[in-house]
Amino acid sequence: MLAMYLPQLSLVILGLGPAVEEKPPEGWNGGVGFVSKEMIQTHCPPPATDIQILRCGPPPMNKAMAGHLEALGYTSQMQFKF
């Protein structure tokens, strides 16, 4: 629905958490496990002033994601945690 109003919006769901890693829901073809730097590089646009990475999840995941994003060159202004 958002894509209808914001065609420049990209939605990326990187994966399901480790709790469902062994048995993801039927029909799921996305990633499972922890989000890695490689997953971010593969699925997200490169760092740029006109992009925004939105991340949500439990505090340990957000902390790890922030570290990966910073290591890949994404500034704090390019990230939003909710």
List pLDDT tens digits, range 13-53.
Answer: 666 665 555 677 788 777 777 888 998 898 888 999 998 88
The reported pTM is 0.73
CA distance 17 to 70: 21
- Cα separations in angstroms, 46 against 34, 42, 67, 82: 20, 9, 15, 21
Which residues face 80 on adjacent strands?
A: 54
Which fold, 15-81?
A: Rossmann fold (3.40.50)
